[in-house]
Amino acid sequence: MAIILNGTTGITTPDIDSTAGFDGEDLTGDIAAARITGALNATGSAPVYACRAWVNFNGTSTVAIRASGNVSTITDNGAGDYTVNFTTSMPDTNYAIIGSTGTDSNTNPPSTFNINRIRASGNHVDSTTSAVRVTVDPSSNGDSKYVSVAIFR
């Protein structure tokens, strides 16, 4: 069901309460906030921030995205060095980058996940509104089979 913006008084959305179905109720202000936090199982008064982009990809051989949200492509910059490209740019570069990496074998120890670093030189590179550079440092090879990145803003 579509979200309808009526211009001045609020947003009409489907009811996001999973037990009530879609009722087309107008959601504004505190009502909308309560419905959203309820749907996310968020409790307490702290604000809720959504993930703006995320990706799970295979970083070995030909890099391949397994699943993603707001990530268009992954650029393979060399062994263990990747650029995550956003489908829709971030509003600025003040976002948080969270990542993890792993292997599929007991013979390959876990990797170190680095943000904004060129693996070959160790030099720093700044994030942009359209992409972030991440590197992994496994001790036994240059790539990681499992790489996940999430962006919060």
In percent, the amount of the chain with pLDDT more than 70 equals 73
Phi then psi for residue 26, to 5 deg, are -70, 130
pTM (predicted TM-score)? 0.73
Domains of the chain, by residue range, sit at 4-39, 51-152
pLDDT confidence of 20, banded at 50, 70, 90? Answer: very low
- pLDDT of amino acid 143: 81
- pLDDT of amino acid 90: 96
Three-state SS at 33: helix
Q: HSE of 104 in the Cβ direction (CA atoms, 13 Å)? A: 8
pLDDT confidence of 30, banded at 50, 70, 90? Answer: low
pLDDT confidence of 18, banded at 50, 70, 90? Answer: very low
- pLDDT of amino acid 1: 46
> What are the pLDDT digits (tens) for 64-89?
999 999 999 999 998 889 999 999 99
Instruction: For residue 2, give every residue at least 6 positions away whose Cβ sits within 8 Å of its Cβ, in sequence order, or none.
Output: none
- pLDDT of amino acid 10: 57
Q: Name which of 14-18, 54-58, 97-101, 142-146 the model is least confident about.
A: 14-18
* Other CB atoms within 10 A of residue 13 CB: 20
User: Could you give the C-alpha distances from 80 to 9, 17, 22, 58, in angstroms and in order?
Assistant: 49, 42, 46, 11
Q: Is residue 45 over pLDDT 90?
A: no
What's the angle, vertex CA 72, arms to CA 16 and CA 89, rounded to 5? Answer: 75
> What are the pLDDT digits (tens) for 96-115?
999 998 876 665 666 788 88
